[in-house]
Amino acid sequence: MEVLLINRPTHVCKTRALLALILLMWVPMEVMAGTENATHLSTRPRSLNIGALFTLNSVIGRAAKPAIYAAIDDVNSDPSILPGTKLEVILHDTNCSGFLGTVEALQLIENDVVAAIGPQSSGIAHVISHVVNELHVPLLSFAATDPSLAALQYPYFVRTTQSDHFQMYAVADVVEYFGWREVIAIFVDDDCGRNGISILGDALAKKRSKISHKAAFSPGASNNTINELLVGVNLMESRVYVVHVNPDSGLTIFSVAKSLGMMTAGYVWIATDWLPSHLDSLESPGLDTMNLVQGVVALRHHTPDTDLKKSFMSRWKKIKHEGSSGFNSYALYAYDSIWLAARALEVFFNEGGKISFSDDPKLKDTNRSSLHLTSLRIFDGGQQYLQTILKMNFTGVSGQIQFDQDKYLVHPAYEILNIGGTGSRRIGYWSNSTGLSVIAPEILYKKPFSTNTTAQLYSVIWPGETTAKPRGWVFPNNGTPLRIGVPYRVSYQDFVAKDKSPPGVRGYCIDVFEAAVNLLPYAVPRNYVLYGNGKRNPEYSNLVFEVAQNLLGMLRLLLIGQALGSGLVVVVPVKEQKTSPWAFLKPFTYQMWLVTGAFFLFVGAVVWILEHRMNEEFRGPPRKQLMTIFWRENCEHPGTAGADYMVVCGPLIINSSYTASLTSILTVQQLTSRIEGIDSLIASNDPIGVQDGSFAWKYLVDELNIAESRLVKLKTWKTTWKPFSMDRNVVGTVGQEFKKADGDL
Give the pLDDT mean for 622-634. 66
- At residue 340, the pLDDT reads 97
Q: In this structure, are residues 158 and 165 in contact, taking their beta carbons and an 8 Å threshold?
A: no
Q: Are residues 499 and 549 in the same domain?
A: yes
Q: Please check whether residue 620 lies inside any domain of the structure.
A: yes
Helices (H), 77-146: 98-109, 122-135
How many structural domains compose the chain?
A: 5
pLDDT, tens digit (0-9, with 9 covering 90-100), for 509-518? 888 888 888 8
Give Cα 152 distance to the centre of its chain: 29
Residue 455 falls within a domain, yes or no?
Answer: no
> Among 28-32, 413-417, 713-717, whose mean pLDDT is lowest?
28-32
Q: Would you say 737 and 569 are in contact if contact means Cβ atoms under 8 Å apart?
A: yes
| pLDDT on residue 13 | 43
Does residue 420 share a domain with residue 395? no
Domain identity same for 247 and 339: no
Which of 246-250, 565-569, 594-598 is most confident?
Answer: 246-250
3-state SS of 410-455 is CCCEEEEEEEECCEEEEEEEEECCCEEECCCHHHHCCCCCCCCCCC
- pLDDT for 636: 60
Q: Highest mean pLDDT: which of 143-152, 268-277, 454-463, 633-642?
A: 268-277
Residues 158 and 170 in one domain: no
67 and 103 in a single domain? The answer is yes
* pLDDT, average across residues 672-690: 77
Can you tell me the distance from the alpha carbon of 140 to that of 130, in angstroms, rounded to the nearest whole number? Answer: 14
The answer as to whether 472 is a domain residue is no
Q: Which domain holds residue 607?
A: 583-667
- Do 233 and 297 fall within a single domain? yes
722/720 Cα distance (integer angstroms): 6
Q: Are residues 292 and 156 in the same domain?
A: no
Bridge partners of 268? 240
- Together in a domain, 65 and 148: yes
| 555 falls within a domain | yes
Please choose, from the candidates 613, 670, 661, the residue with its C-alpha nearest in 3D space to the C-alpha of residue 637.
613
| Average predicted confidence (pLDDT) for the chain | 80
pLDDT digits (tens, 9 = 90+) for 633-656: 566 666 666 666 666 666 777 777
Query: Are 186 and 297 part of one and the same domain?
Result: yes
- What is the mean pLDDT of the segment spanning 359-384? 75
Has residue 166 got a pLDDT over 50? yes
Beta carbons of 502 and 566 less than 8 angstroms apart: no
Helix (H, G, I), strand (E, B), or coil: what is residue 714?
Answer: strand
Does residue 241 lie within any of the structural domains?
A: yes
Same domain, 597 and 657: yes
Q: Does the residue 245 lie in any domain? A: yes
Quick check: is 510 in a domain? yes
The domain boundary residue, chosen from 606, 637, 667: 667
Same domain, 129 and 150: yes
The answer to whether position 280 is within a domain reads: yes
Higher pLDDT, 85 or 708: 85
Q: Are residues 663 and 713 in the same domain?
A: no
143-154 pLDDT, tens per residue? 999 999 988 899
- In this prediction, residue 192 carries a pLDDT of 92
Q: Is 625 helix (H, G, I), strand (E, B) or coil?
A: helix
